[in-house]
Each structure stands twice: as structure tokens, then as C-alpha cells.
Amino acid sequence: MVMLQVVPVPAFADNYLWLVHDEESGETAVVDPGDAAPVIAEAERRGWTIGQVWNTHWHPDHTGGNLAVKEATGATISGPASDRIPGRDVALGEGDTVRLGKHVGRVIAVPGHTLDHIALIFDEDGIAFVGDTLFAMGCGRLFEGTPQQMFDSLRRLSALPDDTRLYCAHEYTLSNARFAAHAEPGNSAIADRLDRVEEMRRKGAITVPTTLAEERATNPFVRSADWQEFARLRAAKDSFRS
């Protein structure tokens, strides 16, 4: 089975909208289309037709383009079982699946950033779409959930294989890396990664996807021993100025 092709589409100041294409079936999905125009344009440029929209959570920078994508392409919209997902056709929750050709993604609940946040795990492809739960060297703010919930959600994601590629929704890596260096000043892996990220951003390169192995080594939130430590780190990051 040919691996899924995943293409980043930048939007707004720092969002990534992900086009996901299966070459064998010709099917294409888009993950978290906060803005319809750039994903439609990129799909058309590649000769792809968007047939599905997958939302990880309800925030407008992830769902704002849903209706326009649906109007332009007739795509089916799948997302959390919430009335806050514009145009949703299929409700997704723990244990459900999404499909693109022969590729199957399982849905897991990862509350914390929002209460209804989900992640899509394509085990055979070794990829996961994690929305705003887990970022490269960081994690999402707790707008609705508790530290315990987010800690548990990160633990679920960190149980994936080391080489799993994590597709998050924002280019926050540099600010996250600076906080990580502050939180763990003796961690040489963090220091080395900060140097690499600074160079990548100077060149205008994107810093995602990341891998579970990288996050286990350099992400203070993933490395937290318990939810209390996580809560202290999250509060410190909320007030951190790099």
C-alpha cells in the first residue's frame, strides 16, 4: 500500500492546513481548513479533488473554511460530536474511524485544549493529526479542559511508536523551543534542537511534522512526570516571554 501524501498549506499568521492524498484511490482530504481559499487552490494546482474534511476541534481557525470547501467540492465534513463544527455531516468520537482509500485512521479523544478535541491516528502510515493538543516542543493552551485531562491526552499520544510523524496545526516551534530551554536548561537535546529550529526559521523552513522520539527527548510537557508537574509547566509557559 502506497503511503499517504501529506502537504502543508500555510494560512493566517502561523496555521498549517493539511492536505492528505491517497495516490492509489485518488482521494483527498483536508485537515482543519480554517481558510478554504488556500487549500482549494493547492488541491486544484495538484489536480486533486477534496472529498473529505476532517476537523480535530471546533476553533474557527480550524473550521472557518468548512462551509466554503463543502460548497466548492461537495466534501463530507467529519469532526467531533459537537454542534460547534460548521457543516458537520459525520460525528467522530473515541473508537470511530476515517478512511481515505484503503488507509484507515482511528479516532482517539484528547481533551484539554477543548473538551471535544480528537486526534486521527493512521497506524499503518505512521502518522497522526493532532490539531492543537501536541505541538513540536509544546502543547496547546487549556481553554476548556483541565491539566489532568491534557496530561492524560499527551500520555495517550506519547504511547505511539517513536517514528510516528505528528502533524500539528501551528508553527509555534521556535517559541516552544525557547521555553523548553528555559524549563530544562541542562537538557543538551533541547539546546541542540533550539539551534536547529532557529536556523530553519531564519531560512523560512517549516518545522513540522515532528516525531514522537523528538518530543520525548525535547518536549517538557511530554516529559512531565505527573499532571501536577504538567500544570506548573503550562502555567509557566502561559506567562513566558521569550
Summarize the annotated binding site as residue ranges: 57, 59, 61-62, 113, 132, 170
d(CA 228, CA 147): 8
Residue at grid coordinates 505527573: 226
d(CA 62, CA 85): 9
Do 161 and 233 touch, CB atoms closer than 8 A? no
| Catalytic position from the list 61, 103, 117, 125 | 61
| Catalytic position from the list 113, 116, 117, 125 | 113
| Catalytic position from the list 21, 62, 103, 117 | 62
Is 117 assigned a catalytic role? no
Instruction: Compute the C-alpha angle 12/33/24, nearest 5°.
Output: 130
Is 170 assigned a catalytic role? yes
3-class SS of residue 138? strand
Is 59 assigned a catalytic role? yes
- Residue 129 pairs in a beta bridge with 120, 167
Residue at grid coordinates 467529519: 78
| Catalytic position from the list 21, 22, 35, 57 | 57
Annotated binding site for Zn(2+): 57, 59, 61-62, 113, 132, 170
Is 62 assigned a catalytic role? yes
| Catalytic position from the list 21, 59, 103, 117 | 59
User: Which are the catalytic amino acids?
Assistant: 57, 59, 61-62, 113, 132, 170
